[in-house]
Each structure stands twice: as C-alpha cells, then as structure tokens.
Chains A and B, each alone.
Chain A
C-alpha cells in the first residue's frame, strides 16, 4: 500500500533528523554541566551555577520554541498549500513577516511605549494588516490562488521597502531589527515558549476542526457541489494559517522556508492525502528547524560564529525550491487576462510616443535644475551653479533613466512572451546574482572601489545568466519554471544577505544601500555605460517585435508560423537578462518599474509589441528619473535611494491594478 510506505518513509526521515539533533542537543547540555547534574540542570537548576542556569533558561526553552515554531510553520504551510492549491505557497508569501517587521520598526521609532507594552501585539498586528491587505486585493478574484500569492509577494516587498527607508534614515538605531528580522531563536527564559505553546495548541485544534471542509476544497470541482462555501473556507483557512505563522513571527522573527519545506518534504515522501500532509508537514517542519538550529548552536559553540537560525533555514530554501520545480505542474496558459486583451487601442501611436518623449525631456530638465540649497530651501539653479551641480545630477538622472528604460523593455518582453501579465525582470534572478557578486567583493577585498564593486556585480549577473541558459539548454523550457528558478535565486540572495547583516558588520550598511537601489555613487563612467547599454537594448528590441506579436497568440500558433520555440526562448531570455543586469547595477534589485511600465504602456493603448516596448521604455525611464529626483529632495539632505522610491511609488499602483482585473 502506498499509504503504508508513505508513513514509513516520513517516519524514517523524521527520525533521521530528530535523533542526531537530540544527540547534538545533549552535547550542548553536557558542555555546560557535568553528567551527574544533568537531571538537576533540566528541572531544578542551582542558581549559583551559570551552566545549569543556561541549560534551564536558555537551551531548554530554545528547544521548546524551536519545536513549536517548526510545528506551527509546517502546519501553516500545509493549510496554505491546501487552500491555495499551490505547492509553492508558504507563510512568507502572505507578507506576514514583512508586515510584522515594519510594524516593529514604526513602533520603535514613533511609539516606543507600544513596544514596551507588547512587542508581540505590535508584530502580530503588522502581520495581520499584511494579510488583510492581501485579502482586500484578492477579493474581487475570489481569492484566486495566483492573485493571493502575487498580492502577498508585492505587499511583502512594499513593506520591506518602507522598513528599509526607515533604517536608512536612522542608520544605526534600528540595526537590531535586522537580527530580529532574520529569525533568532535565542532564549533566556521561558516567556516565548510559554506564549507559543498554548497558542499553537488552540490553533492546531481549530485546524483539526476545519479538516473536512479543507479536504473538500481540494476536490476542485467537487467543492461547490458538496455544499461547501468555497469563499468562507478559503478565508477561514488563510486566517488560521496566517495566525499560525504570525504567532511564530511575533516571538522569534522570520523563519524562512520551513513552511514551504515541511509540506514539500511530506508530499515527496508520499503524503498525498491532506490528512497525512496535515500530520507530517508539522512533524517534518519541526525536525528540519530543530536540526538546523542545533547545527547553528554547535557552530556557535565551536567557532563562536553566531548565525540567525531563520536565515540559515532560508538558505536551505533555495535548493528546496529548485528541487520542487520539476514536480510543479504550473498551468502554461495565461493566469490572468492576456496582456493585449481588454484595452482600447490608440489610433496614432507615433503621436503619443512623441508626447511621451517630450514628457521625458521635460522631466530631465526639471531634475537637473530644480532642487534644494544647503540650507534646505527650494531653488532653481542657472548659470554657474547649474554647471557646478550638473556633474552630480546628470549622471544620476541619466543612469536612472537608462535603467528604467531597460527594465521596462525587459518587462514588456517577459510579459508578452510568457503571456503572464505579472512577469517581471527582477524575477529572473539576474539582480540577485549581481547582489551576490557585491557581497563577495565586500568580504574578499578590504576596501573595494566602485569599479571593483561594479565588476563583481557584473560577474555575478553573468554567472546567473549562464546558469539560466544552462537550465534552458538542459531541455526543460517551461518559462514558469525558469521564472521560479529566478525567485529561488533571489531567495538565496536575501538569506545570504540576512546572515551577513546579522553579523553586525558595519560594512554591511554599504551593501544595504545598494540593495535599496541607490544612485549616490554614480559617476559619469557608469552613467555612460548604462546609457550605452540602454541604446543597445533599444536598437535590438525591434528585432524581437514580430516574435512578441505572435507569441501571445499561443505556443501552437507560434510554431505553425515557424518560430522555433527553443531559439526564441534562448534569444529573448539572453537579451532580457542582459538588459536586467545592466539596469540592476544602477537601481539595485528592488524596483517594480519592469513590471509597471509595460502595464502603463498598455493602459495608454499601445497594443502591438514595438510601440508597447518604446512606450514602456519612455515611461519606465521617466518613472526612474522621477524616483531619483524625489529621493534627492523629499528627505533632504538625506537621499532616499531611487530604487526604493520607485518601489514605493509603483507597488500601490500595481496592487490597485491587480485588484481591478
């Protein structure tokens, strides 16, 4: 029987993680107290003995918190995946952690009394606000799985961007939040364990009570016929899952990917029925988290390197995602309305393009001449002062414009090619590669110059590009899989980033500023290279317009018309990756311009590929230009990075667009 095998397999795998973990735990305890004091240390420590106190008030509660968190996250993931019917769903896709972190940042800065009163309540309400927003934006879609995940991701990114803006203004003050944000399981009393366990018990009971309707939900067509109100069950399920993840986030911060890995492992071991998933996902989640945490503690004890457990589990997340990809049967048809449908067409595209061009020029002139004086007053500069400031303003503006242009063209290509209105160049993971290159440069070179950082970023992008081409050439050409591989790479970057931030190394602020998309360090040289790249991209883009006009009609049509699918995939992806890499060097990995500009171009009525690309390029460039200018003046003399401003401007627009579909 398959089910017997599944029970045996899952039990074996769980044990193979629990046993070494508990053995490691014992080692850690014996490190602190002699064997004959073991029992006393566990249950009645001598307050004069630091070692016994550590066992009783640090190691033991940590074990409890660890098991409870892993269980809660595994359970949350299992419920989410059942509700959304999507094996990639996990607590982090609802934006809970980012919401909790933002709420904490705001409270620390503006309402410190609130934090003193209840840190948990603050974090929890932030997480629930995120969930509520996700619900609000996916309401019209009746919580369609795709819309929910997408809204969650965007809200998560938006909240992370706002948190980042706060950190940048308060440089050192919020440093602790990074540590908290990356899921530290350290304990020094039973508070967190005492808070987690009863909450977990109640929520687990509720999940068990909801089991029947949740199972019916999985029967697709059967659900409504069986008398289940799909909407109510989905809302209840999402709320429960969010509460499970929220409770954990409030106590220990963000623990990445346990909610994804637990259920995924359970399924791969044969737990195909929801009932079995509901049992094995939390068990495997707890086992995974425990073995990771014990490894982290042993590493700390031996080498004195203290890593945040939540960030380490996120590190495991990327391989898990990549491993899941081939299993994933993603529907290869447009998930939302096709990018060309449902919009009016502009009658004279050339005229409108000229207008957009004039708008871009006006924006450029304004960004170069209108700004603020050292005393903070607004000023229009002319003559000598204009010339003195031009070397500072022009490279930034030009680079931002060029980057926006390239992101917009990448976005247009990806959206038309995949027929997926939510595809975005950032998802390719090329920007993540650039980030990893910069991390390497910062830690291998003692004081890297701008040129060295740029070179390292380019190498990183190139590496990902080659990796992507390798995946394509290996034969699996499903574009959704490639996009998800890109997401996995981005996840890898953010966990590496969280771990490094947690070391408290002051150098990390430098990396942080790049992550937020700062144009501060842009000199004429990188501005010119960004400009040249943008011109190349603009000149080559028309060559692809025929493919892009035909591809949205469907794969079969395309093949009938004689377009080699592999060749077009390869060429378009290589081209998009190049454009994204060149843009990311300037703006960092954090903008939605590549997602928004093509949409805006379509709203303007550009239906065919070529005018849409050119229109999107002009709009994307102007958007980045405006973001850069706004970042220079809004918090003067502090400068908000343009990538961050772009995210803040574009994501609410995007959410609105998403909810309207």
Chain B
C-alpha cells in the first residue's frame, strides 16, 4: 500500500506517477492519466510518436541515468519502471514506492506481459474498467485490422531496423511485431532465432527470406545506408528488393505496449488494403 503523507493528499485525488519507460507511459496516456514525468522527453517524437505526449510532462534526462535531483523535486507518489533499470532501483526507492512491470526482454512473447502490465496500471490508477476496455478494444482492433489487411493476408512480411551499413535488426519471436502479426493472421517472413528482446542482429546479406515477402524498415535510418544499398548488386537481387516490396514503416515504439500494438495493426491494414501508409 502507498503511504499517504498526513493531510497532504486527500484520497481519490490524482496520484503523481512517474514512468521511467516509454511503453508504460503509453498505457498511462491511453488510460487517460499521463505520467507527470518520463525520461528523454524530446525523443518521444523519434521513437514513439503515438499517442502524442501531453504538454507539461517533465523531462528526467537520460533513459539509463534518470536525473534523481529532478525526480526528487517532483515528489512523485509512485514510480513505474521495468527490469531494464533494475540496477538503479535502489535509488528510485529512496524517492517513492517503485512498481516494476516486466514487459519486454523477458525471453518470452511480450503479449501476456503487456496485458498484465495494463491491468496492473489500471489498478494503480484506479481505472480497472478502463484497462479492461482498452484490452478488449485493442484485441478487437487488431483482429479487425487482420481481416481488412488486403494483400498482406497472403504475403508474409518482416520488420527491420537498419543498424549500420552492413547490419540490420530483424524482429521475430519475442517481439511485439510477432505477437501482432499472429493475432492478425499474417505470417512473419523472418523465422530465425531472436534474442530476449525479440530481434536478431544480422548481416544484410543474411536477410535471406525464402520466397515472396514485404520488407518494412523503420526510423531512424543511418544517412548513407539507402544510397549504399542502392549500389549493391547483392541487395538489388534480394527477392523483396527485386519485386519492389520494400516500404518505410512509420514510427512505432517497438518496445511498446497496447497503443503500439494497435498502431502496428492499423498501419499494416492500411498498407495492405491501400498499398501505402
């Protein structure tokens, strides 16, 4: 139970909650109670985009080195975080109670963890019914998106992140993409091994997808990668490049929660039915 400083905060009044993870912050925003602070506020546009971050959310600085002075001065009631920051947990506990919610990097598919985290956040915000509704709506949106995803229904696709000139991160089992694709009934063309985070770092020449597939790459793309690939015969002759099935996927937080999942599904459905985003 959370301690209530005597008289300071009346019961029922909105809690001051900080989220140290973008994904958990997404869920809080979706439930209508955005966090008072998150790390790296300016990067939200680069990595998350949707849902938009409300104005006035304080910046806690680096993702890995939360600015403790700022955190202290904000006097939060609760700090939400993931096991990613386990090494700094003892610091956060000196400011406010800490709730650790594992979502990604568990070595298992993130979906059940996302649902559990959503319900837990619902409880913490005293918005249990909203959380259940968010889950039900998200699941429905994804299934419906699957139904209207047009040509993608018969076309496997895969997601990559250009890492540098020679390497990509390709997403598979244990990633949010895989879970969304499964629920939409679309096949992931990448069936290779992945790490606990759900991606595999491989050389571009190993992007050997047997048969037809659609490749989606997302931001950020290192500046000279596309130009250099354009010159490479090896790249030009990859089946998905030869058939022109390479598309730039709009920004989605790959380590996100339900808002990311529905966004991926909706974008895929739009792409499959309109042949573009």
Do A and B interact?
Answer: yes
Residues of B within 8 A of A (CB): 40, 43, 46-47, 58-65, 67-70, 72-74, 83-84, 86-91, 94, 105, 162-167, 169, 193, 195, 197, 201-205, 208, 220, 222-224, 227-229, 231-235, 237-238
Shortest Cβ gap from B61 to chain A (Å):
4
User: How far in angstroms is the closest Cβ of chain B from A310?
Assistant: 13
Q: Which residues of B contact A373 (CB under 8 A)?
A: 73
CA distance A54 to B94 in the complex (A): 55
Q: Are B208 and A392 in contact (CB under 8 A)?
A: no
Tell me if A503 and B220 are in contact (CB < 8 A).
Answer: no
Verify B195–A179 contact, CB threshold 8 A.
no
Do A513 and B86 touch (CB < 8 A)? no
- A509 touching B201 in the complex, CB below 8 Å, given contacts A188-B166, A447-B87: no
B164 contacts A188, CB within 8 Å?
Answer: no
With a cutoff of 8 Å between Cβ atoms, the chain A residues found around residue B233 in the complex are: 47, 53, 56-57, 189
Q: Which residues of B contact A56 (CB under 8 A)?
A: 233
Are B163 and A171 in touch, CB under 8 angstroms? no
Q: Which of B60, B69, B169, B193 touches A371 (beta carbons < 8 Å)?
A: B69
Inter-chain contacts of B163 with A (CB < 8 A): 175-176, 179, 504
Flag if B201 contacts A639 (CB, 8 Å): no
Residues of A within 8 A of B91 (CB): 521, 523
Q: Tell me if B64 and A509 are in contact (CB < 8 A).
A: yes
Please state if B234 and A54 are interface contacts (CB–CB under 8 Å): yes
List of 6 A-B pairs having minimum Cβ-Cβ separation, nearest first: A176-B164, A637-B61, A447-B86, A186-B166, A57-B234, A112-B223
Question: Once the chains bind, are B224 and A115 in contact (CB under 8 Å)?
Answer: yes
Chain B interface SS verdict (over half): mixed
CB of B5 to closest CB in A, whole Å: 14
CB atoms of B232 and A189 under 8 A apart: yes
B222 x A176 contact (CB < 8 A):
yes
Are A188 and B59 within 8 A (Cβ)?
Answer: no
Q: Is the CB of A171 within 8 A of B73?
A: no
A449 on interface, CB distance cutoff 8 Å? yes
Instruction: Output the least CB separation between B163 and chain A (Å).
Output: 5
When the two chains form their complex, are residues B234 and A189 in contact, meaning their CB atoms are under 8 A apart? Answer: yes
Q: Is residue A173 within 8 Å, beta carbon to beta carbon, of the partner chain? A: yes
A492 at the interface (CB under 8 A from B): no
Nearest B residue to A181, CB-CB: B164
Closest to B255 in A: A506
A553 on the interface (CB 8 Å rule)? Answer: no
State whether A116 touches B227 (Cβ < 8 A): yes
Within 8 A of B (CB), among A560-615: none
Which residues from B are CB-within-8-Å of A116? 223-224, 227
Q: Which of A89-97, A214-222, A383-391 contacts B (4 or more CB under 8 A)?
A: A383-391
- Judged by a CB distance under 8 angstroms, whether A191 is at the interface is yes
Q: Which of the residues A171, A191, A385, A506 comes within 8 Å of B197, measured between beta carbons?
A: A506
Tell me, in angstroms, the Cα distance from A233 to B163 when the chains sit together.
43
Bound-state Cα–Cα, A632 to B64, Å? 15
CB distance from A457 to the nearest CB of B (A): 13
Q: Do A523 and B64 touch across chains, with their CB atoms under 8 A apart?
A: no
Smallest beta-carbon distance A33→chain B, Å: 14
Complex contact B65–A518 (CB within 8 A): yes
Are A388 and B222 in contact, CB atoms less than 8 angstroms apart? no
Point out the residue from A171, A186, A503, A505 that lies within 8 Å of B205, measured CB to CB: A186
Closest to A50 in B: B208
Contact check, B87 vs A521: say whether CB atoms are below 8 A apart.
Answer: yes
Known: A180-B165, A186-B166, A510-B87. A306 touches B203 (CB 8 A): yes
When distances are taken between beta carbons in the complex, the residues of chain A under 8 Å from B70 are 374, 637
Question: Chain A residues with Cβ under 8 A from B232's Cβ?
Answer: 57, 188-189, 191
Given contacts A179-B164, A449-B86, A504-B201, contact A392 B69 (CB under 8 A): yes
Within 8 A of B (CB), among A196-211: none
Q: Which residue of B lies closest to A171 (CB)?
A: B63
Closest to B83 in A: A447
Question: For the complex, what is the distance from the CA of A637 to the CA of B169, rounded to whole Å?
Answer: 30
B interface footprint on A303-319 (CB within 8 Å = 1, 0 otherwise): 01010000000000000
Separation of A176 and B165 alpha carbons in the complex (Å): 8
Minimum CB–CB distance from A453 to chain B (whole Å) comes to 7
- The residue on A at minimum CB distance from B220 is A173
B220 contacts across to A, CB distance below 8 A: 173
* Interface presence of A323 (CB below 8 A): no
Query: With the chains together, A373 CA to B59 CA distance in Å?
Result: 11
16 chain-A/chain-B pairs, Cβ below 8 angstroms = A53-B237, A54-B205, A58-B234, A112-B223, A176-B164, A176-B167, A179-B166, A184-B167, A188-B205, A447-B83, A509-B64, A510-B64, A637-B59, A638-B65, A639-B61, A639-B62
